[in-house]
Amino acid sequence: MTHSSPALSRPVSNVDFSQLLLDHGLSWELDGYYLLCGDRITTETHKMYFSVVVSQIPAFLSQLIPVLASEQISFAVVKDEQSAITILNGLAGAAHVGKVLMIPIPKDLDNFLSLIGPVLTGFRGPVVPGKCRLAGHVYIDREVTGLKPDQPKVQVLAGKYLVLSSLKKDPKGEVLKALYLSGWFCPKRCIIKEGKALMICDAALRDMGDRLKWQAALLNRLEDIIAVPLVLELFTENGNTYLVLERVSGQSMGKVIEKVYGGKDWSMLKRQQRFRLIAAMVKILSMVEQVHLRGLLHRDLSTANFLLDQKGDVYLIDWELAFDLQRQYPLPPFGFGTPGFISPEQNLGKIPTVKEDIYGLSALMLSCFTGIKPREFRMEDNAYLKAFVLAKTEDQALAEVIARGLKADPDQRPVLSELQAVVENMPVRINAGSEDYF
């Protein structure tokens, strides 16, 4: 339902924070994402952690590093902007979230806090998981405080949503299965998307909460046009944002594809299995056409974001990356996307065009009609890609349109109607009438 392995938009530049150390005559050694200054900080060392959003890191370091240098305090700091993005957004694992800079806990903690007091003003950062907040955006190891780890407890959100389980654990926020407890109606199953405060925070300080608010607005706008989950509520609690959606019973397109193929090739599938995939793709293309007619782009048309229910209806989910072409909103566009399904220009953070969705749909068709995940290909080898699809499907028209749709140059990609025509005519090309599957 959500992005399992999000790909960040690559920054135009990657600021190297080592220059700040050089400016203060400090030497360092490289250790993964970090620059180590002074004595090595081991895993056994009790530490203090400073969490700062990417856009504020240069200003923060320019104030804190002189203090650390004058006090001869060892520290580890993220080496550059890209490393900071990786750590802050959870791509290095939940255990690293928020750890922009770390120091051993000073012996005279009160004096040190008074010394850095001005540095704590005006800066923000996401919560460091499993650590205790000391002040502002500063955290320390729980062992130092003597507090015991938090014990699992029944979670009720907004006083009426009983959390049953976590469908997806993610540093930026979990996807929860819950019961809506109402005094007037029987409990109703729902899905809750959590957006943790200051996670995926960009230069405009837009975080996961802003993405969920944008998604809620779009779902309300589209609920009478295409099949999307209904929005039940949007609320904020303890600084985090929660989007409550109706629970759609169904399987992702990815699961359907895996189940249909079962390790076989397209040529080995039964007629009914082929027709099921073709019918689903026809509906998907029609849905996206309706979205585009409203001047909207989805920008993450992956196999995970289409749900098929038992009736064969298709739902389009996860709208947080969407873009309004008419309003040119939001700018800059929200980053991320599913590897293999996002175009080169989207991965670079360029202003969105309809060709981004054409790329995603072409990658979806590649997966649907070959059973192969797009991220397993080197997309830049377009000739090989075309030959591969042709060998798998023996469908020249399909191979050509998929290969064109995955070209690096967006101007060389087909328009949506070309994709539709090729897919809708597949039954004819495999000697089957369209009445067999519609």
Going from N- to C-terminal start, the domains of the chain cover 18-145, 156-246, 251-436
End-to-end CA distance of the chain: 27
Of 94, 89, 113, the residue nearest 103 (C-alpha): 113
Q: What is the mean pLDDT of residues 3-11?
A: 40
* Residue 338 pLDDT > 50: yes
Please give the pLDDT value at position 376: 85
> Look-up: residue for tokens 């608010």?
213
DSSP output for 103-132? EEPPSSHHHHHHHHGGGGTT------TTSE
DSSP output for 359-427? HHHHHHHHHHHH---GGGS-TT-HHHHHHHHHHHH--HHHHHHHHHHT-SSGGGSPPHHHHHHHHHTHH
* H or E element, residue 357: helix 354-370
| Mean pLDDT lowest among 68-72, 181-185, 255-259, 385-389 | 181-185
> Which of the two residues, 26 and 380, has the higher pLDDT score?
26
| 135 CB-near residues (< 8 Å, 6+ apart) | 113, 120
* Residue 152 pLDDT > 70: no
pLDDT tens string 231-288: 999 999 999 999 999 999 899 999 999 999 998 999 999 999 999 999 999 999 999 9
- Per the CB < 8 A criterion, the answer to whether 173 and 194 are in contact is yes
Please give the pLDDT value at position 278: 96
C-alpha angle 407/82/45, rounded to 5°?
A: 145
Beta-sheet strands, E only, within 150-283: 156-157, 161-168, 175-180, 188-195, 231-237, 240-246, 251-252
Query: Token pair of 283, please?
Result: 């509906």
**Residue 7 has what DSSP assignment?**
-
In b/e form, how buried is each residue of 356-380, taking b as 16+ CB within 10 angstroms? bbbbbbbbbbbbbbbbbbbeebebe
- Per the CB < 8 A criterion, the answer to whether 274 and 430 are in contact is yes
Tell me how far apart the alpha carbons of residues 61 and 83 are, in angstroms, rounded to a whole number.
Answer: 15
Q: CB burial class (10 A; 0-12, 13-18, 19+) of residue 104?
A: middle
Helix, strand, coil percentages (3-state) for the chain, rounded to 5, are 40, 20, 45
Please give the pLDDT value at position 184: 60
* Residue 12 pLDDT > 50: no
Q: What is the mean pLDDT of residues 37-42?
A: 88
Q: Are strands 188-195 and 29-31 parallel, antiparallel or unpaired?
A: unpaired
Please give the pLDDT value at position 188: 87
* Residue 75 pLDDT > 50: yes
Top mean pLDDT of 133-137, 142-146, 165-169, 395-399 is at 395-399
Residues of the chain with pLDDT > 70, as a percent, come to 92
Q: CB burial class (10 A; 0-12, 13-18, 19+) of residue 55?
A: middle
| 63 CB-near residues (< 8 Å, 6+ apart) | 118, 119
- Per the CB < 8 A criterion, the answer to whether 176 and 192 are in contact is yes
Cβ of 119: how many Cβ atoms within 10 Å?
A: 22
Phi, psi of 282 (to 5 degrees): -60, -45
Query: Token pair of 409, please?
Result: 């140059």
CA 35 to chain CA centroid, Å, is 27
Of 436, 359, 437, the residue nearest 402 (C-alpha): 359
Q: The domain 156-246: what is its CATH number?
A: 3.30.200.20
The domain 18-145 having CATH identifier 3.20.20.80: the answer here is no
pLDDT tens string 87-115: 999 989 888 999 999 999 998 888 998 88
Q: What is the architecture, at CATH level 2, of domain 251-436?
A: Orthogonal Bundle (1.10)
